[in-house]
Amino acid sequence: MPNKRADNIKRVTITLDDELLRQLEAECKRAGVNRLEIIREAIATRVKKNGKKQNTHK
């Protein structure tokens, strides 16, 4: 059976300065998760927050 979630996932590349990468690594270690989890959560939070802002301006 094909993995439907994998069909909807795209790979992206990001560039971080040394300090931000250091902070990301520290947060991953503190939270016991990998980079991907932190980055996905940050993007989802930002998109959700901005979506709420846009809805209040209508």
* pLDDT score for 6: 74
Q: Is 38 domain-assigned?
A: yes
Q: Is 50 domain-assigned?
A: yes
Contact predicate 20/27, CB 8 Å = no
Q: Is 3 domain-assigned?
A: no
User: How many domains, in total, are found in the chain?
Assistant: 1
pTM for this model (two decimals): 0.71
Report the alpha-carbon angle 31-37-39, nearest 5: 105
Q: Is 24 domain-assigned?
A: yes
Report the alpha-carbon angle 31-34-38, nearest 5: 70
* pLDDT score for 7: 82
pLDDT in tens, the chain (58 residues): 566 667 888 999 999 999 999 999 999 999 999 999 999 999 999 999 988 776 655 5
Domain limits for position 30: 16-56
Gyration radius from the chain CA atoms = 15
